[in-house]
Amino acid sequence: MGRSAKMKRQCRVDILLVTYNGERFVKSQVESVLGQMDSGCRLLIRDDGSSDGTLHLLRKFAAREPRRVVLVDDRGPRLGLCANFGRLVEHSDADYVVFCDQDDVWLPGRISTPLERIAAVEQDVGATTPVLAHTDLVVVDENLRTIAPSFWSYINIDPYHGSRLNRLLIQNVVTGCATMVNRALLRRAFPIPRSGAPMHDWWLALVASAFGRIETIPAKTVLYRQHSTNHVGADRYDWQYILHGALEVVCHSWVATCLRRSQLQAEVFLQRYAASLSPTNRRMLSDFVNLSKTGFFERRLLLVKHDLFGTSRLRNLGWLMMV
């Protein structure tokens, strides 16, 4: 038996599931999760104040599977998606954490595939190195009919080149519901700032890129369900999307919104980690945070110098023209 197999059996994995009015889909998701859990796994769930039957369903699962399902019922105020995941992280002491959305369905390998990759990286560089592993997803409709076999292709992102810190500052290419992280990354990244970090997966990706490793795995491990109440969805990259993007560029709205959001997150990131960043990354972050204070031509030179672009050519063109 190989060393990676031994590590897989001995380690502990916590799956963090946050819910809010997810009665329609949460049952199938929890069942798909339980189908992959072995004795070293635990499902932690926190409901964020649902007004439908979600909490009733979750309590039934917790009563039926008390050793495997833990319902964190702290009856606190609504936290929102990012802070809700943060609350569950506070309750987790596992070596590895998997993030889980209420309306998806897991495919075989959702736990084992990223776990084996992270274990291999830790064997190479040590368990104190922050590691994030994420996979591709299958985009499906609310009845689980395939819309697109690859989420990455569907929204036209390059998660390999996009996982560099400079690229991640502009565009997140890591999807939280297809992600696993190790304990070293959680220690380094949490608590996630309440102001400045739009999403937990984006913040974790920045920290992993700056101080550890991002492992990009092309396997599909999640049926990523699209429906009318998605908190975050998948926008297809087709001619309508391109036309809409072009109009946004012309109207300057996308560039202004993207710049404000990205700069705020970069500023918070720089404030927290300035002393630990490499001189190159510290300079890049500082230049980006202060971009609006520079002149027209200097701004564009700094974008090119630091390669501060996303993965869409059209939006990169608009970014370069309008920033």
Residue 180, sorted as left (phi over 0), alpha (psi -120 to 50) or beta, turns out to be beta
Average pLDDT estimate for 102-107: 97
Long-range contacts of 71-75 (CB under 8 A, 24+ apart): 71/45, 71/46, 71/47, 72/44, 72/45, 72/46, 73/46, 73/47, 74/46
Lowest mean pLDDT among 70-74, 122-126, 244-248: 244-248
pLDDT of residue 255: 66
Residue 238 pLDDT exceeds 70: no
Q: Is 239 helix (H, G, I), strand (E, B) or coil?
A: helix
Question: How far is residue 131 from each of residues 108, 217, 296, measured CA to CA in Å?
Answer: 22, 13, 38
User: Given this model, what pLDDT does residue 148 score?
Assistant: 97
Whether 229 and 198 have beta carbons less than 8 Å apart is answered as no
Q: Do residues 240 and 314 touch, judged by C-beta distance below 8 A?
A: no
Please check whether residue 81 is in contact with residue 55, taking contact to mean a CB–CB distance below 8 angstroms. Answer: no
Residue type, 177: C
Cα–Cα distance, 181 to 204 (Å, whole number): 9
Angle of the 239-251 helix axis to the 313-322 helix axis, nearest 10: 0
What's the whole-number mean pLDDT along residues 45-55?
A: 95
Cβ-count burial 15-46 (b if 16+ within 10 Å, e if not): bbbbbbbbbbbbbbbbebbbebbeebbbbbbb
Q: Decide: 138 and 224 in contact? Cβ < 8 Å.
A: yes
Q: What is the mean pLDDT of residues 176-186?
A: 98
Task: Tell me what the mean pLDDT of segment 45-67 comes to.
Answer: 96
Task: Identify the weakest region by mean pLDDT among 107-111, 213-217, 258-262, 298-302.
Answer: 258-262
Query: Quick one: three-class SS letters along 65-97?
Result: CCCCEEECCCCCCCCCHHHHHHHHHHCCCCCEE
Question: Looking at the predicted structure, is the pLDDT value of residue 177 above 60?
Answer: yes
245-285: per-residue pLDDT in tens?
555 554 556 667 778 899 999 999 999 999 999 999 999 99
Q: Would you say residue 239 has pLDDT above 70?
A: no
Cβ atoms within 10 Å, residue 190: 15
Which residues are CB-neighbours of 75 under 8 A, at least 6 positions away? none
Q: How far apart are CA 22 and CA 33, in angstroms?
A: 16
CA-nearest of 159, 210, 160, 166 to 185 is 210
Domain range summary for the chain, segments of one domain joined by +: 3-225, 239-322
Is the whole model's pTM more than 0.75, yes or no?
yes
- DSSP code of 293? G
Contact 161, 311 (CB under 8 A): yes
Fold of 3-225: Spore Coat Polysaccharide Biosynthesis Protein SpsA; Chain A (3.90.550)
For residue 221, pLDDT beyond 60: yes
What CA–CA distances, in Å, run from 185 to 95, 213, 316? 10, 9, 30
- pLDDT bracket for residue 114 (50, 70, 90): very high
In whole numbers, what is the pLDDT of the chain averaged over residues?
Answer: 89
